[in-house]
Every structure is written in structure tokens, then in C-alpha cells.
Chains A and B, each alone.
Chain A
Amino acid sequence: MADTVVAREIPSVYEPSLFGTYSKKIGMWLFLMSDSLTFGALLYAYSYGRISTAGWPTPFHSESIVNATVMTAFLLTSSLTMVMAVRASVERNAKAQTLWLLATIACGAGFVILHGMEWSKLIAEGLTLPMFPAVPGHEVSAEFSSVAKSVPQFPSTFFTLTGMHMLHVTLGIVYLGVVALRRKFIPILLALWLIAWLATPSYSPFHYGVHVLLVAAIVISIILWLKPKVYDSSDVEVAGLYWHFVDLVWMFIFPLVYLMSARIL
């Protein structure tokens, strides 16, 4: 199938590999296996907390649910554009490939931005962790702050699960950016980091979280320095695997933390 794009018909000096596929793809599948255990542990912690806590709250009003639904739509669309990018890469249409990748990045960024705004709003309204700084000049909602006080497990698991997922989407955006633009992406990444850092107020968790972008830029520079190379269609396919996986994880998180905590009047 798509593997045929790596068509270099040299007789192999090796034993046939697993499923006749190439190393990078096996590597990505293995990473996804271990990553599903990483998420699995968090989901286990969530279930453990939820089951052992009497009176689990359901504070999410339609506003939150609608917002999360729009986020979901963004992610689903991004999976579609990702498929198109892989297809373009198989057809060796470099321009279309870059455009579809950028479209995927845009959808992913839409997701992260909406999610970030949602977080900030919840934190400001009192659904927060004990050590997140208070947001100055914002009305706290009685309902949210009582949830945070009476069932600390609720905000804890919410922020952990969605935060871990947000981190994965962010890294996915960086990954796709490197595949699409290679070296040229590093200055863009640094600019994004700087803007995001300056644009977020110091009481926001994102003010510190954006440093992930800086770390990513450093790691990418090291990797590209050690192995400067041209990305081929297999890279697009492998990046696609990661991207679809992150989508799939959201399909667990969305019902678990949003829909099952929705206030249905």
C-alpha cells in the first residue's frame, strides 16, 4: 500500500521486516503503544478518583459542551486534512502536501487556542487547582468554586487529562511543522514561543507552559544538526499516524471528562 512509495528496488540484504514495513513506521507504532499506556495510567487515575469519590459533580453547562464540540470538530477536520496530506505525499505533489499539512496545523492550532481559552475561563471562574494563582479582577462562580473545594479530584483530573492531551496536540503541531517546512520552521517556532509568552499574563498557567515550545525548538535544532535530511513521503505518513492517535485519544477524553460531567437539566 502506502509503503510502495519508498520504492527503491534494491535487493535487501536483510531479513524481511515485520509486515514488510519500514523502521520509522514500526517505531511510531511502538511509540503509540507506550503512549497509550501513559494515557491509560492517567485514565486509570481518573476512573479511580471518580469511582471512589461520592457525589462526583457534573458542572459543565451547555456553553462548555458546545465549545468542546467545536474543538472536537476542529480535530476531526484536521484528521481529514492529514489524510489529504498523506495522499498528496504519495502522489508526490509537494505543494499540495505542504498546503494540507499547514491546513492540519491550522485546525490543530484552532483546537489548542479554543481549549486554552476554555481553561482560562474555567480557572478564572473558580474551577481551578489550589496552587494556580487567582485571576485578578474576575467574578468567581459559586458553583465552580464549590466544586473545586468539595471535590478537588474533579479539577485535578480535568486539568491533567486535558493538559496532557493539549501537550500532545501542541507537540504534534510542532512535528507537522518540521515535516512541512523543515529548518524554516525553527524561527517560526521561536517567534510563536515569544509571542505566546508575552501575550499570556503571568498568572496564567500558559505563561509557563509555552516554554515547551522553546524546549522543542532546541531539541529540533539538535536533531536537524545531527541528521540534516530531506523528509520524504514516509515521514508524512508516520506523522499522520501520530496525529490520528492524538485525535483518537480525544475521542476518549471528550466523553469521559465533558459529556459525562455535563449538567443535563
Chain B
Amino acid sequence: MRGRLTFAAGCALVGLVLAVALVSLVWLPYDPADTTGGRLAPPGGAHLLGTDKLGRDLLTQLMAGARTALIAGIGSVLVGGLLGVTGGLLAGFATRWLDDALSAALDIVIAFPTLLLAMLVAAAREASLGSVVLAIGLGMSAIVARLTRVLVKRVLAQDYITAARTSGTSWPRIVAEHVLPNIWPMLLVNLALQLGLAVLAEAALSYLGLGPPPPNASWGRLLQEAQATVLTAPTGAIAPGVLLVVLVVGTNLVADGLRDLADPTRRRSR
């Protein structure tokens, strides 16, 4: 019951941001590049949430920023999940030395700060939303791979795997019927958490000027731009902050709810 409630609450929050992002695809109050609103206009009137110091409509920036946040989050999870789960499965089933080599490689990538990775990727390619997704996704993939590897190893050590093997079940079938079903709930929970972390990472990169460059709108850059005028025009800092919290708390609630829903032993003994 608790799991279902948490899950629903999380979906509502994430759904809210998703709805905003979808609407932004077909309708925005102003053109995101339109700077004719006047510098730091207060909320109300023609600009519902006011304008920023460049004279852009804040609501427009926030809506377009929702799109960037979600693309960064979902894109990173796709990249990190695909690479990470594949690598983790390989390491989990690998022979001793291959496993050791993969683990060492993972430790190195994990020790790399996402910021540094982002700078390197941006330098190697060009600064773009794609580079940000790639950088965050690469950093994430190592963490996901390590988790997947541990989960696989743990499942493979279980008696029910030995039991399945004594009855002559083939490896592909054991992977499909026992290993994957027993690791995906934990993986899914982790990927939901990683989605929130990726959104935060994009905001942090943008705040530092390493994010997707304009014309991409970004909540992180809005925060940075509003920093100097936070006392005179607080909406500019509060609004993107609130949206970030809504999205990240939402993904964490989804993760929490999934944890309870995916596990039958928890489901029954709530």
C-alpha cells in the first residue's frame, strides 16, 4: 500500500514536469530568445513570473528548461543504463581475469568526477546537450555497471541457481528466467534514482557554465543568472529551484515506490 502511494506521488510530480515539457514543445508564452520584456520585470501582467536580467520571459525559460532537464535525465539514463547493464552483466558472468580487468576499469571511471568528464567530452566534441548527456551517461554507466555486477554475482551464488542447474537448465535460460528477473527490480530502482541525479548533474554543469549552451534553456543556468539579483528579484532563483526539487523528489519517490512494488516478499508483508 505504502509503496503504491509513494509511487503515485512520485509519478504525479514527474508527470507535472513532463507535462510542462510537452506543452513547451507546442506552445510557449514567448520566444525563448525574445529579450524585449524589459530587464527584471516583476511578476504579473504580460509576464506571469516576470522577466530575467536579459529581459527574457521567466515562465518561457522555465518551460523550455523542463525540456532540457528531462532530455538530460532520460538521455543519460539511457546511455548509462545501456552501457552499464551490459558491462555489468559481462563482468558478472566473466571469468576471473576479465572480471578483474573490468572492475579495475570501472573503479577508474567512478573515481573520475562527472565535472571533469563533462569538460573532457565537451572539449573533445563541442558544447551541446548531446555532449552533456554523453558525459553524465558515461559517468553513470560505471556506477550502474558496478551495481549490476554485484547483483549478478549475488544471484549466481544463490542455491536456486544451483538447483536450476541440477535440473539441466541451460545458461541462457537461467539468465532469462532467474538472473534478470531477480536483478531488474534493484536495477530499475537504481536507474530511477540515477535519473534524479542526472537532472541535478545537468543543472550543476549549467550553473558552472559547462552545460548545454544557449539557445538551450537550463534551470541550472537560470539559477546562476539570478544569483546576483536574488534579493531584488527572488522569483528568478526560487522558481527554477522549486522545479528542480519537484523533479528530483519525484524521481526519488518513484524509486522508493518501485522498490516496494517490485518485490513480492515486501508486497505481501507490508
Chains A and B come from one and the same complex? no
Residues of chain A having any CB pair with chain B under 8 Å:
none
By a beta-carbon cutoff of 8 Å, the part of chain B in contact with chain A is none
